[in-house]
Amino acid sequence: MSRWIIFILFYLFISFYGFQAIKTISKSNWVYIIFIGIALLVLGNFMFQFLAASDGRVLNPSKSYAFGFLLAFMSFNLVIIPILLGEDIIRVVLGLYDKLVTTKETFYMPSRRKFISQIAIGLAAIPFASLLYGMYKGKYRFRVLSYKLYFEDLPEAFDGYKITQISDIHCGSFDNRTKIEYGVDLINEQKSDVIMFTGDLVNNKSSEMAAWKDLFGSLKAKDGIYSVLGNHDYGDYVNWPTSEAKAQNFKDLIQTQKDMGFDLLLNESRTIEKNGQRLAIIGVENWGAGGFKKAGDLKKAAQQVDKDDFKILMSHDPSHWEQEVVQDDYHYHLTLSGHTHGMQFGIEIPGWFKWSPVKWRYKHWAGIYKEKGQYINVNRGFGYLGYPGRVGIWPEITVIELKKGVKDA
C-alpha cells in the first residue's frame, strides 16, 4: 500500500505542474475543470483496474488501456516539469535578488511567463499525441522486414530458402479481429518455405488463445510451422489456485499449438531435407538472463544434430544467444529470437538509425546482429504487452532468405 501512496503523491505532484502550465495560458474555468477531470479519471481508472480486479497481475485489454492512458497523461506532465521547474528556480532567484540587493521590504516573485508555458505544452504534446497514436493505430501497423543472409557452407539445395519469423503474439492483448486478420494474411502472403514462431503466444493463460486459434491455425508454409515457448507461455505470472491448475494450463497451451498445426520444439530438433541435403532446426525452451526462466537446454536440444549440419536455432530471449549460444562448441549459423518488443517505443529509420530505451537492457534488441560468423535476428514482435500500442517500433513480420556464398562476391 505504501507504494500506491508514493505513486499517488508523485502523480499529483506532476499533475500540479501540468495544471500550472494550463492555468498560465488559459483563463477559462472550463479548461481547468477538464484538465482536473481528466487527471482524476485517468488515475481512478488505473487504480480501479489494478486494485479492484481479482485476477492480480493478469493483463487484459482493459488494464492495458488504463496503463496506456496513464502513461500518456504522465508523459505530458513530465515534459512540462523540467521547463516550469527551471523557470521557478529563476523566479525565486530574481525574487531573492530584489529582496536582498534592492531596497524592497517584501519578497516578490515574478509571475510565470505565458510564453514559457506555451513552449512547455507544445513540447509535451509531442509524446502525448505519439502515445495516443500508438494506441489507436501504431500497434497494428504491421510491416514486413526482409533480409538476405549469405553463408559459404549453406547446402546448395537451400540456396534461396525463405523463412518467415514471427514472435511475441501476446493474443491476450488483442482487441481488433480485423486488424489481426490483416496481419495473419500478410504472413501467408510472404509464401515462405517455412514459418518460425519464437515464443510468447499468450500473456498469461492458454484460454486467451480461444478466440484466435482458428485465425492463427490458418497459417501455412510448405515445410511447416515450428515454434518455441517464451517466458509468458509458462503461466508464471499468474497466482494459480493450485499447482495442478498451472500444470493443466501449460498442457492446454501445448495442445493449442498442436491444434493450430505448430510443431512445438521443447529442447528438441527437426530436420528439413531437400535433394539429399538437410537443414537442422533446433528449438529451446525459454532461457533468459536477469531473473527470467531458464528452462532452455541447448545441449539437449541439439543432441540429434551433427556438428557439421547447417543450423537454425529458435530461442525466445536474445540474452541466451549472447551468453551461451555464441560461445558454444557448435556453430549456430542463424538464431531467431524475440522477447524485447523493441520496448514498443523508439525512433527508427530502417537501414540508417534505430534507438530505443530497451538498448540499455539488451545488447541485441532489434534486427540482425553478427558475432563470430553467427547471425541473430531479434524480431520486434507481432503483438504488444502492457502499453497497448507502439510508437516508432512497429509490429514486425521478418522474412529471411538464405543465400549460398559471400555477400557482394
Place of cell 558454444: 328
Q: What is the mean pLDDT of residues 377-387?
A: 97
Give this prediction's pTM: 0.91
Reported as a single tens digit per residue, the pLDDT across 122-146 is 999 999 999 999 999 999 999 999 9
Report whether 338 contacts 360 (CB < 8 A). no
- What share of the chain has pLDDT > 70, as a percent? 94
Residue 53, pLDDT score: 64
Q: Is the pLDDT of residue 377 over 80?
A: yes
Residue 57, pLDDT score: 63
Model confidence band, residue 1 (pLDDT cutoffs 50, 70, 90): confident
What is the 3-state secondary structure of 150-197? Answer: EECCCCHHHCCEEEEEECCCCHHHCCCHHHHHHHHHHHHHCCCCEEEE
Per DSSP, the three-state class of 148 is strand
How many other C-beta atoms are found inside a 10 Å radius of the C-beta of residue 196? 27
Model confidence band, residue 207 (pLDDT cutoffs 50, 70, 90): very high
Q: What is the mean pLDDT of residues 141-157?
A: 96
- Rounded to 5 degrees, what angle do the CA atoms 343, 184, 143 make? 45
Q: What is the mean pLDDT of residues 232-251?
A: 95
Pairing of strands 396-404, 194-197: unpaired
Reported as a single tens digit per residue, the pLDDT across 14-67 is 999 899 899 888 889 999 999 999 999 999 999 999 887 656 567 788 999 999
Residue 54, pLDDT score: 59
Q: Is the pLDDT of residue 191 over 80?
A: yes
Which stretch of 26-35, 164-173, 264-273 has the lowest confidence by average pLDDT? Answer: 26-35
Q: What is the mean pLDDT of residues 303-328?
A: 96
Model confidence band, residue 106 (pLDDT cutoffs 50, 70, 90): low
Model confidence band, residue 98 (pLDDT cutoffs 50, 70, 90): low
CA 151 – CA 153 distance, rounded (Å):
5
Report whether 151 contacts 402 (CB < 8 A). yes
For residues 54 and 307, which has the higher predicted lDDT (pLDDT)? 307
Q: What is the mean pLDDT of residues 240-258?
A: 97
Model confidence band, residue 212 (pLDDT cutoffs 50, 70, 90): very high
Mean pLDDT of the chain: 93
Q: What is the mean pLDDT of residues 372-386?
A: 97
For residues 98 and 24, which has the higher predicted lDDT (pLDDT)? 24
How many other C-beta atoms are found inside a 10 Å radius of the C-beta of residue 326? 17
Residue 115, pLDDT score: 81
